[in-house]
Every structure is written in C-alpha cells, then in structure tokens.
Chains A and B, each alone.
Chain A
Amino acid sequence: MNNNPKGYVSFVLHAHLPYVHHPESDDYLEEEWLFEAISETYIPLLLNFSKLEEEKVDFRITMSMTPPLLSMLDSKLLQRKYINYLKKHIELCKKEVKRTVYDGHLNSLSKYYLDRYSNDLHVFKEVYNCNLIQGFKHFQDIGVLEIITCGATHGYFPILYVNEKTVRAQIAVGVQTYEKYFGRKPRGIWLPECGYVPEADKYLKEFGIEYVITESHGILYANPTPLYGTYAPIVSPDGVIAFGRDIESSRQVWSSINGYPGDFNYREFYRDIGYEADYDYIKPYIAHDGVRVNTGIKYYRITGKTDYKEYYNLQWAMDSVEKQAGHFFDSRQAQITNLAPHMHTPPIIVCPYDAELYGHWWYEGPDWLYILFKKIYYDKCDYKLITPGEYIDKYPEIQVCSPCRSSWGANGYSEVWLNPTNDYVHRHLHRAGDKMVELAHLFPNEKKKFKKQALNQCARELLLAQSSDWLFIITNGTMVDYAKKRIKDHIGRFNKLYEQIKTDTIDEEFLKDISKKDKIFPEIDYMIYY
C-alpha cells in the first residue's frame, strides 16, 4: 500500500440478473440463474470480503446491484426455493461422496463440493438470515464497498429514449429501489449495458446521480477529445461524470486469446456431472422433464485446448490464481508508472466486469480478487484501490466533454439489442411506453384504490418488458422461447390492463393474479410517467 499513490485502480462489478419469479410453477429452471449466481458468485464474494475485513486489509470495490436482483434476493419465495436448491445439491453431493470412493482424487473433490454447498446453506440461513442484501450493505456501511444502482429493469436507454419519460422512469425506480434497500441515495449508476445517451443526463441529475460507467469509446470518442483518455473521468455539459473502461486491464481478463479465466489449471465449466453421470442416477437432479442440465458439480480442469480433460486440482488452481494476481498487480504498476508523469491528476484505471464472471464463469475469480486486494494492500506499489465516488471527492477538477453514445455490447453500439432477430420488439416497447404516459395523464393521482393498483401494475409490466436481457437472449439464440414469452406476457398483460383501465372494466381476479406473478417494486407510483 502506498499513502502517496501515483495512481488508482477501480474495480466495478455489475451484479445483475433479470427478474425471474414464477410462483405459478416450480418448473422454470430460469429461476436457477439466481441460485447459481448466489452459490458461485454472491456468497463467494461476501466470504472473501469478510476474510479481508477480518484480516484488516483495507480494500475498495464498487458493485452495481440492479433492482431486479435486489428484488429477487429479497423475495421470500425465491429464498425458500434457493434453500431447496441447496438441499438437493447437498443430497447429490452425499451420493457423490459414496459413488466416488473408487478414486481418491475424485472423492476429495466430491467432499469439497459437499462442504461447499453445506457451507452455502449455513452462510445463507445462519449468517445472513436468508438476506444477502444485508451482507453487501454491511460492506458499504464500513466503507470498503460502494454500491451503485442501475436502471429499474435494465432497460437499454439508447433505444428506449425515443420516449424520454420511459428512461426517466427507469432511473427513478432504480434510485428508489436503491434507497429502500440501502437507506441512502446512490452516488453512481451502472447504465444498463453501459448504454450512454446524453438525453438521459438531465434525469440522472434530477435523481442525484453523480457518475456513470461507460465503455472505453464513450470517453475516447467524446467531444472535445478528453485530454487523458479513459485515465481520468470527464463531466458532461449537464454535469454527469463519466468513467470509461480501461482497455488494457479488460483485455487481460476478458481476452479469448490470453485472458486469465482460460488458464489450464482452472475449472472446466462445460464438464458437469449433470451431463456425464449415469442417467438414472442423475435424473432427480436435472430438469424435471429429464433433460440433462448443469448441476454445478464439475470435476475437471481446462487442461488444454483439446477435449482431453484431467481432474481439477484445487491447489494448482490456487497457484494460478496467485500467479495471475501477481501479473495483474505488476501490469497496473507498469501502466500507472507510464501514465502518471503525463497527467496533472493521478490516473484511474477503471476495471468494470459482470459480477457473474467472478465465480460463475471464472470459478476462481473471487479468490483472485481476494489475493489481488491483499497484494495491493501489503506489497510495494505506487497505486491504491479506489471507488469512483472517492476519486471524484479527491480530484474534483474534471474536463468538460460530451461522452460518446455507446454501449459495451459487441461492436460498441446497439447491434446486440437491435438486429434482425429482435428488432420487432421495439415498436411494442415504444408503444407501451407512450400508452403508459397517456394513462398517467388521463388518470393523474388516481384516488380509487383499485384503479390505482391497476395503473401501478401497468407500470411494472412495462418495466419488466423493457429488460435488455430478453433482447440479448434472443440475439444469442439460446433460451429464445423463454425470452420471447416474457416479452409477450408483459406486453400482453400491459395491453389488457390498459384497455380495462380505460373502459373502467378492471378484472379484479386478473389484476391480483398478475400482481402475484410480477411482484416487483411494491412501492412504485405510476405518476413517474406523468
């Protein structure tokens, strides 16, 4: 650690999952997206933060926790379902411990998984009382974690802003949800998909947002050209500060050629007993209709660039973690040494990632962060960890530039969310947005309880339809049916309720039903669309 740092490194982890909540059925495996992320990413992050806290290692990290994720973590139904998920995994692990006695190595791995899932259950129930939000809040409260917000349902601003009120509502509900869970206002926002449009700035300001994170060219292509590229934030004419992703450090983690997660000692994601174990044996632990799916129990390491795989070795994996943390540590040192003499403020290297990369995809990722943070604290170096908020407080002199319209999707603009596979969706989202604004003007400050509930539910349906996730999944070509169904359901429910509200024929049973299914944002006020 250095008390007179020449530069800073800022990790930003974007924790997000779309709102998947199906009280009507137990058959939606999509709910397991959340459970996998809890076991593989959120709990490991919390455990590593706790270790750092116990060891009195001063560190800094920033995380966006999106409103749908917060709503799901807070859902009693999903908490119960997660506990069931864990119990099922523990049961399977116990069988695995018996099954694998013939091989010492395999047997120790199966015991490792048994420990891990048992510990998850303990941590989830006993330590956090089923509420992981409190866990993250604790680290914010002690000053090592800066939690930022996100658009209400991860709606993609560069396409939604055709109707600016819908962008304003995404921001408003994002900020309100944050306040509800964290008891203060968010300083920053993760723009969904890093989608920046200057038209949103005035609303960000209106709701007290100080800063956003953009993709590298959001800064590099700004007007006028930023003096220090992505190594210093810029401030837009409307007063929103933008931090840009650092290209060099991103490449080290993401690159398909030499990114860290591809290390041969790391756990192989695609070899899972869900696919490999004897069918009758594994049947109770895969999809209800018998289709093989991942279980999370994986015994192999990446090994090499062929299909030949060897057993995972925890110690070897940790050796690679150490080595790569050292490499990242040295690379930032070199980068900052190079940059600092040319700048009038210390450079900031902003490293944003999907949180779920750490743990879910890159199984060893949370441990890598832990080792790296300890190194930065104990080893000799010229830089420190910082959050964007702290950087602004220390260096408030910021160049005025208009950031470039951009996103972090492939090619840097809107192709992922607007291409021939999903372009048909946008007219429906725009039309529903217009209708929502129309409803707010037709029935402002509605007093009748029932009608007000219907208006609020309309707002929820609209927001849920707007999740960028559905468009992304359609582009991606897997799970397309589920994503399309979600769009149809939310637009369908919205349109139906819209007609009922206008004709004063609200179907009470229908409203109750969809309010139970789409049970997000209980405090929402449709007047945000006024």
Chain B
Amino acid sequence: MVPLLQLQDVTFGYDREPVLRDVNLQIHDCDFLAIIGPNGGGKTTLLRLILGLETPWSGRVHWAGGGLPRIGYVPQFSTFDRNFPLRLRETVMMGRIGHRGWLRRRTRADGEAVDRVLTDLGLAAFAEQPIADLSGGQLQRALIARAMVCEPEILFLDEPTASVDAETRGTLANLLAELNRQIPVVVVTHDVTAMAVHVKQIACVNRRLFYHGSGQLSHSQLEEAYGCPVELIAHGVPHRLLHAHDECGNE
C-alpha cells in the first residue's frame, strides 16, 4: 500500500544544531498516529515539517499526490488570542479559506458546509457566541470544526488535550476515533493516556524518531527515546495497544 505521507531521512533545525535528525515516518490512509516524546524533543517541529511550514535541511517529505493535500489542522490554544472578536461560526468559516482559495468570496456552499460541521460536532447552539465565551471543551471542538470544514484528507492536532479537562479529553478521544473512520488522524501529544484506547500507531520523537509502529511500546524503547527510565502504567482497555507513561523527571 502506498503511504499517504512519507518522510525520508529528514533532518532539520532552526540554528546550527539540528532539532530532528534522519527521521523516517510513514502515514497510511486509516492511521491514527500519536506522535509522543518529551518537551523540546521536536514533536511540534516534526509537525511543522509535515505541514510544509518548514523546509527540511536534507531528506524529503513526500505526499502521495505530489503536492500538499487538503489538511485539517488543529493548533494549540497558545497560538492564537482567545479574546479575538469573532463568533464561533465565523471562526469555523475560516476553515473554508483553503477550500477554494483565500481571495475568493464565501459562497452558499461554504455556509452549508459550516452548518453541517457545527451540527456534527454539537456546536450549532453556540454558533453565534463569541469565542471568548466558549468553554475549553467547546473551543477545542470549534477548532476541530474549523479543521474539518475544509473536507480534509488528513487531520493533525497539536496537543489537543493540553487545555481541556479530563472529561472533555474522553469525549475528544471518542470524537477523533469517529473522524478516524474517514480520514487518518495524527495527534502530537505529551499525554498519550487520553488517546490510548483509540491510537493505532505511535511514533516516539526525541531528536530522532525512536519508535514507530503499532505494537506495544517496551520499557527499553521509551528509555532510549527519553534518555532516562520511564515509568510505564498498564493501560488501554479493551485491546491494550500500548502502555502509557509519565514524562520523565519534571520536563
């Protein structure tokens, strides 16, 4: 099977030192991939390379169709201003920009697509509220709606569980599993426990990509990635795909 996305020997950094070295990764059509690893290990950088926001020093990022496909992207809360004067509906509408080009005026089809996604994600009742008034969980769903409204071929989420409470994490994981029935989902996270039940593949990144696959992560593999002993907690009912773990040390 031809992978949707293939990274071959990708090396990249911001200054002289590479942040990522010789990274190889494949994403296939039905994947639910978690990219995990310690803070500062290059998870977000890897995501930026995949999204085409950075160009690798060497190696290549190759998409099956040649160019970038339509990408759904859910950023961290910290990358935008929560008090920005926008209604939920307008925020989701921004996801349509990539659909036909940023210079085009919005059409009726855009409005219908937005309404559909808002209904699907249970946000229709809040459509006219300013985003500043939304709860963390509602805002998170709004960002997913904004990503989904462009009818993406793949969905990326950067630390989706970082700013929401435990209950929301559960619903979020179920939602992503549902979306995963149609498109591949890639989650960058330092907290894999919330997703553990649904995640099918794991890539462990710390400067290099240490593990990539769908079997159980072993102690030694995690220790190699984190550079220190990591406590593993058995997890993953009902099909025990992986063990979860704490961050090593404080970082």
A and B: interacting chains: no
